[in-house]
């Protein structure tokens, strides 16, 4: 749905979904609620790659072509001591 159609629909339903002001607080307008909902929907809680996938990629690299000469010596010293 494009923005113009959405705004037209919002104008039609605003009177039915509008909340009323009270003595304690002012209500949030339908436009403001729509903006907040749009902001909430922008991001997700899922990343493209999980940290475990990134860790595995580094692990494979540093245990193959990215290994340095002293790496195995340090590993052996760590586990011997």
pLDDT digits (tens, 9 = 90+) for 2-18: 788 888 887 888 777 76
| pLDDT of amino acid 40 | 59
DSSP state of 31: H
Give me the residue spans of the domains in the chain.
3-42, 55-80
pLDDT tens string 25-81: 787 777 777 777 776 555 555 666 788 888 889 888 888 888 888 877 887 887 876
> Please, which contacts does 29-34 make with residues 24 or more away whose CB atoms are closer than 8 Å?
34/10
Regarding pTM above 0.75, the answer is: no
Contact indicator for 71, 62 with CB cutoff of 8 Å:
yes
């Amino acid at each position: 749905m494009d923005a113009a159609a959405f705004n037209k629909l919002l104008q039609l339903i605003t009177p039915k979904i509008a909340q009323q002001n009270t003595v304690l607080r002012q209500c949030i307008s339908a436009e403001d609620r729509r903006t907040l909902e749009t902001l909430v929907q922008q991001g997700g809680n899922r990343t493209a790659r999980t940290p475990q996938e990134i860790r595995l990629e580094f692990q494979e690299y540093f245990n193959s072509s990215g290994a340095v000469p002293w790496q195995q010596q340090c590993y052996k010293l760590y586990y011997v001591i």
